[in-house]
Amino acid sequence: MKPYYEHKGITIYHGDCREILPQFPKAIVVTDPPYNIGYHYDTYKDSLSEEQYRELIASTVRTPSVVIHYPEDMFGISSALNELPEKCVAWVYNANTPRQHRMIAWFGCEPDFSLVKQPYKNPTDKRIEALIQNGSAGTNLYDWWNVEQVKNVDEEKTQHPCQIPLEIMSKVLAITPDALIVDPFCGSGTTLRAAKDLGRKAIGIEIEEKYCEIAAKRLGQEVLSF
């Protein structure tokens, strides 16, 4: 199948992920799938029956994989995979919505939180001061990430209705084992953009051509160094 976009290890395919995904059996699936709660996509209907939605998830989310979803639905994904997650992270955000957090779960692969450092909470503590003086860059990444959702006024906002923050996917990929990444619901291309920034190889599959175009445009943007 001819790629919609391909450049320096990042590829986009326009089509149904259930048909394309089996071509990449050794890749790690990293995805924020449709939530089946009535989002207004251009052509995809985000209001499947429970049986149809379970079939969609079962045919696209496999091990190894990293999945972002609401906590209640992650139990169903775990049941479909017949596997418990190796690790879970709480992604929380301050929003006037029915839910203010989601879960990020690793199935069949284990993240390494030591690969990303964050500032110490108590830098004036004598023990922490000693660590900093000895060259410590910070503590290991926590399993609780406070990252705001992408708002309409944000610079990274595209025309995609439910865009994942680049910061979230960047953290996910940074601590996920180094292998080919495939996102069967790549949407605006956040997973691919994070992969490009980290020098990872990644494949995105998207059923709506409009979103393929948005993702390709984001991948064409360069980060300027000052």
- Topology of domain 5-220 in CATH is Rossmann fold (3.40.50)
pTM for the model stands at: 0.93
- Looking up tokens 């091990």 gives 63
The 10 Å Cβ neighbour count of residue 84 is 10
Element (H, E) at 203: strand 202-206
Cis-peptide, bond into residue 64, ω within 30° of zero: yes
- Which tens digit of pLDDT belongs to each residue from 83-135? 999 999 999 999 888 889 999 999 999 999 999 999 999 989 999 999 999 99
State pLDDT tens for residues 148-192.
999 999 999 999 988 999 999 999 999 999 999 999 999 999 999
Q: Which residues contact 212 (CB under 8 A, 6 or more apart)?
A: 4, 5, 12, 14, 206
